[in-house]
Amino acid sequence: MMRLSIQAVTTATTLLFAAQAFGALDDAAATTMLTKGGCRACHAVDKKMVGPSYQDVAKKYKGDAKAVAMLSEKVRKGSTGTWGQVPMPPTPPERISDADLKAVLEWILTK
């Protein structure tokens, strides 16, 4: 019985890491990364705060194959003017890694 439990945990852990490796974040993992990166101070999934909602971002860039790369650059360098005059400050890799940023942006674009 104990062996089955360890096997189940090992399988679940493997699947979680595989999903994250391919950018398929669940809501909880994405929320953790967004919190760590400081994104949630100004953004929410379904409502405008200081910055646009993730749903609005997803709508604006729907079908744009270059969206993740372009948004990554905006996050890293900071941005102003796309959603109003309130600037978005730059977010360095120390706050969210390039891999996590890519995964989070892919998640945002599904909202």
Please write the tens of the pLDDT for every residue from 57-111. 999 999 999 999 999 999 999 999 999 999 999 999 999 999 999 999 999 999 9
Burial class (CB in 10 A: 0-12, 13-18, 19+), 85: exposed
pLDDT at position 3: 54
Helix, strand counts (H, E) of the chain: 5, 0
Pairwise CA distance, residues 45 & 79, whole Å? 19
Pairwise CA distance, residues 104 & 106, whole Å? 5
pLDDT at position 26: 95
Of the candidate CATH numbers 1.10.760.10, 1.10.10.10, 1.20.1440.230, 3.40.109.10, the domain formed by 24-108 belongs to 1.10.760.10
Categorize the per-residue pLDDT at 27 as very low, low, confident or very high, splitting at 50, 70 and 90.
very high
Mean of pLDDT over the chain: 86
Under 8 Å between Cβ of 37 and 93? no
Mean pLDDT score, 49-60: 98
Mean pLDDT score, 41-56: 97
